[in-house]
A and B are shown apart, each in its own frame.
Chain A
Amino acid sequence: MDIPGNLLYTKDHEWARIEGKNAYVGITEYAQHSLGDITFIELPKAGQELKQSSYCATVESVKAASEVFVPLSGKVISVNSRLSKNPELINQSPYDQGYFFMMEFSNVAEKNNLMDAKAYETYLESISK
C-alpha cells in the first residue's frame, strides 16, 4: 500500500500535502481501493470556507456513495476540475493527478490532529485486523 512520507493523514483516509500556507487535499490509496471504480465526484466551490473534519466532497463508485471530510480548516482556493470528466484519476493517481482541491489553511496547530505516514501505516494495520 502506497503511503507517501510527505503527507499528513486522517482516520477517514484523506490526505493533506502542506506547501507553505496552502494544502492539497485528496483521498488515500487505501480509500480509492476500498471504494473501487470511482464514477462521480462532487467537489466544494472555490472560495468556500471549511472547518476541519467537516464534509467537503462526495465520491461515488459503481456500488456506493461516500462522503469525504476536510483534513484542515481553511478556504478552498481551487479545485481539480479534471475530476468531473475523469474521476478515474482518483483511482489511478490518488496522491497526484487525483487530488481533490487546494486550500489555504487557517490554523497550523490543527496539523497535530493528523497522522504522519508512519502513524497512518500503523493505523491501517490496526483496522485490517
Chain B
Amino acid sequence: MLKTPFYDIHLSLGAKISPFGGWLMPIQYQGILAEHLHTRQAVSVFDICHMGEFLLEAEPAGSGLDRILTQNIISMPGGSCRYGFMLNDKAGVLDDLVVYRINENKWMLVVNAATTSYDYKHLEKNLSGASRLEDISDKTGKLDVQGPLSLEVLKNIFGKQIESLNYYTFAKFSFEKEDCIISRTGYTGELGYEIYIANEYAKKLWNLLLKDERVKPAGLGCRDTLRLEMSYPLYGQDIDVNHSPLAAGLSKFVDFNKNFIGREAMLKEKAGGSSEHLICFKADSRRSPRHGFTIFDRDKPIGIVTSGSFSPSLSAGIGMGYVSGDYPAGSRLLIKDNSIEIPVKVVKKPFLIKENFSKPAALKRPA
C-alpha cells in the first residue's frame, strides 16, 4: 500500500485510514457527516495526492493525444481544463480525466490513482514518437480546497489574482517562491479549487491552510457523499471498461466531430441504443442502497447498484446503477439485498441542485 506525504499528519489528526486505489487514505477525521456539512457550508481541505498527473509535450495535431481522448484538446484555450475519457476501441471507459492546457504544446493530464500506471502505458502506446510524456505523480502533491469560503481563504495565501479564475480554468501561482498550478475545479459541487504543488511545499501549504480556523481537513468518506449528491461518477464503480460514456449518460464529454479511439463503437451504440443506462434514484427512507445491491422493477431484476450512500443534504438514501430498460424520472423501483428492501424513485441528476457554483467567482462573493 502506498502512502501520501500526509500519512503521518492524518494519523496525528486522528483519521480513520482505509485502502483506496492502492493507497492508505484518510476516510474521515471528526466524522463524515460533519465534514460533509462543513464542505457545503464553509471550506475543507482534502489530501488528493494519490491521484496521478502526467505532463505531455507534443504537437497538438500530430501527437495523437486528440485521438486518445474524447474531449477536444486542440480547441482548448491555454489556461483551461476539460473533462473527458480515455476509451478502448469498444468504447469502454479506461479512465476519466481532466486535461489542463498549459500552453500551445504542453498539457497536464490528471488521472485516477488506481489506473495511473495503466493509463501511462496506454498513452505511451498510442502517442506519436515526437511527443514527450512524463509521469510526475510521485513528486506532485495535490490538495483540494472546496467549499463556499474557499476563495476567501485562498485569496489570503495566493492574493487577489485568484478571483479571476473562472470555472474550469487554471493559472500558475507562487507559494514560497515555488510555482504551483491552481484550477477552479473539484469533485464536490461547491465553489472550489485544486492545487498542484511539489510534495515538500504541499505540507507547508496544508499547515498554513489549517491555521485558518475556517478550514478543516476532510476525508475521502465525505468526498464520496459530496460527489454522489452531485451525481458525479466514480471510476471503477459508476463508469468502467464494460460501459461507454453513452450508457453512463456522459456523452456531452465526447466530441464526435473529431476522430478518437472508441468513436466507431460509440456511434454504433448511439444508433442501436445502449443495452444499459446509468440511472439515479432516491430512497423513500434514510436507508442507503449500497454498491452491489440488485435493482428490481417489481419482481424483475433489472440492474445493479454502482454507488449508494446516505445523503447528508437530503437526509435520504441515494444511489446510481445500471439498468436494462427505460426508467424515466418518477419510475418506482425496489433495491434488494437478502432481507433488505429499499423502495426508491428514479430522479434526474444531480440529486442536489447547487445554485451558481459554476458561475464566475466574482458573482459568488457576498455583498
Which of B31, B290, B340 is within 8 Å of A37, CB to CB? B31
Which of B285, B287, B309, B340 is within 8 Å of A62, CB to CB? B309
A60 near B32 with CB under 8 A, answer no
Look across to chain B and name the residue whose beta carbon is closest to the beta carbon of A88: B33
Look across to chain B and name the residue whose beta carbon is closest to the beta carbon of A62: B32
Residues from chain A with a CB closer than 8 A to the CB of B221 are: 36, 62-63
A40-B286 in contact given A62-B221, A63-B27 (Cβ < 8 Å)? yes
Quote the shortest CB–CB distance from A66 to chain B (angstroms): 12
Which B296-331 residues sit within 8 Å CB-CB of chain A?
Answer: 309-310, 312, 317
**CB of B358 within 8 Å of the partner chain:** no
**CB of B288 within 8 Å of the partner chain:** yes
Residues from chain B with a CB closer than 8 A to the CB of A62 are: 32-33, 221, 225, 288, 309-310, 312
**CB of A71 within 8 Å of the partner chain:** no
Residues from chain A with a CB closer than 8 A to the CB of B71 are: none
Which B1-51 residues sit within 8 Å CB-CB of chain A?
Answer: 16, 27-28, 31-34
Total contacts A to B, CB within 8 angstroms?
Answer: 42
Q: Give complex CA distance A63, B290 in Å.
A: 9
Q: Give complex CA distance A65, B221 in Å.
A: 15
B31 near A40 with CB under 8 A, answer no
Residues from chain B with a CB closer than 8 A to the CB of A60 are: 286-288, 310
Q: Give complex CA distance A39, B340 in Å.
A: 16
**CB of A87 within 8 Å of the partner chain:** yes
A63-B286 in contact given A36-B16, A39-B310, A40-B310 (Cβ < 8 Å)? no
Quote the shortest CB–CB distance from A71 to chain B (angstroms): 22
Interface centre among B221, B286, B312 (most CB of A within 10 A): B286
Chain B: interface secondary structure? mixed
A36-B288 in contact given A62-B225, A62-B310 (Cβ < 8 Å)? no
Chain A interface residue count, CB cutoff 8 Å, equals 13
A39 near B286 with CB under 8 A, answer yes
Interface centre among B16, B33, B309, B317 (most CB of A within 10 A): B33
Quote the shortest CB–CB distance from A68 to chain B (angstroms): 14
Q: Give complex CA distance A11, B225 in Å.
A: 31
Can you spell out 19 A-B residue pairs with CB atoms less than 8 angstroms apart?
A: A36-B16, A36-B32, A37-B32, A37-B33, A39-B33, A39-B288, A39-B310, A40-B286, A42-B287, A58-B340, A60-B286, A60-B287, A61-B32, A62-B225, A62-B310, A62-B312, A63-B32, A65-B290, A88-B33
A40-B288, A42-B287, A61-B32 known; 15 new pairs, CB 8 Å cut-off, are A36-B32, A37-B33, A39-B33, A40-B286, A40-B310, A58-B340, A60-B310, A62-B32, A62-B225, A62-B309, A62-B310, A63-B221, A65-B288, A65-B340, A87-B286
Which 10 pairs, one residue from A and one from B, show the smallest C-beta to C-beta distance? A39-B310, A37-B33, A40-B286, A62-B32, A40-B287, A37-B31, A62-B310, A37-B32, A39-B286, A60-B288
